[in-house]
Amino acid sequence: MLQFESPAISFKNVTKTFGNHTILNNLSFDIPKGKITTILGFSGAGKSTMMKHILGLLTPSVGTVEVLGNNLAEMTSLQLREFRKNYGMLFQYAALFDSFTAHGNVAFPLVEFTKMSKEQIDERVKELLLSVGLKEESHFKLPSELSGGMRKRVGLARALALSPQIMLYDEPTTGLDPITTKMVNELIVETSVNHKEIGLTSIIISHDIKATLEISDFIAFLDRGNIVEYLPAKEFKNSSNPLVQEFVNL
């Protein structure tokens, strides 16, 4: 199993049970800082459950989850709320507020969570939208007036607004056409590169094996609540694990 010095996220002997169903099964797993790590696995393997533990939305039945050196289970709900500013999330359908413009969507977390002035927010929003490749002419359009790819850019700009240290991408390309898929994958890599100096950690949950092999640094394969393979992306296709081979050759 790959190990890293001061990882961004560390699962230590984590078991999660719902009733008498074991969903995570004595899982020990580190995610490195500053890299792109993808978690693959068949439906029902426990990927979303893992993600919810990273966010502190679920707590382990046994074991600990440490994020940036903090045991989430020891935090009060107020501390956890504050701590979540370290995360940016891009969801499958970007999940924008329909009645806010692109600008309004990106401004939202800044208004909600910072004491920045209106001028400072306007400046920062413009900079964020430009940085994800959205031209100024689109900044005051509503989501319904934007293409799927542009909406993804807005979602990404909003996720980056509070300068997170950890970006979580949940099925970022599921349901997108091939061109938009390519754009989103490029955007994930660009975002990682553009935030190298802060050591932005990117975590992707995906079914898109081809893109994953190209854009990730590391790939973990989750099966029935356990990581059964964890390799640098370049080596992943050569895994001798039969489940991984089945997945890769689907």
**Sheet-wide strand order for 70-71:** 21-31, 9-18, 62-67, 70-71
Residue 92 interacting with Mg ion (CB under 5 A)? no
User: Out of ligand ATP, Mg ion, none, which partner does residue 41 contact, by CB within 5 to 8 A per kind?
Assistant: ligand ATP
Q: Is 13 exposed, middle or buried (0-12, 13-18, 19+ CB in 10 A)?
A: exposed
> Of residues 104-133, which lie at the interface with ligand ATP (CB under 6 A)?
none
* Residues 163, 14: Cα–Cα separation, whole Å: 29
User: Given candidates 15, 48, 64, 70, which one binds Mg ion under the rule CB under 5 A?
Assistant: 48
* Residues 8, 243: Cα–Cα separation, whole Å: 27
Residue 146 interacting with ligand ATP (CB under 6 A)? no
- Give the side-chain half-sphere CA count within 13 A for 250: 12
User: Out of Mg ion, ligand ATP, none, which partner does residue 49 contact, by CB within 5 to 8 A per kind?
Assistant: ligand ATP
Per-residue binding string, ligand ATP, 22-61, x by CB under 6 A, is -x-----------------x-xxxxxxx------------
Count of residues binding ligand ATP (CB under 6 A)? 11
* Of residues 15 and 48, the one with the C-beta less far from Mg ion: 48
* Residues 168, 174: Cα–Cα separation, whole Å: 15
Q: How far is the CB of 205 from ligand ATP (least distance, A)?
A: 7
* Backbone torsions φ then ψ of 92, nearest 5 degrees: -50, -45
Judged by the rule CB under 6 A, the positions of this chain that interact with ligand ATP are 18, 21, 23, 41, 43-49
**Which residues form the interface with Mg ion (CB under 5 A)?**
47-48
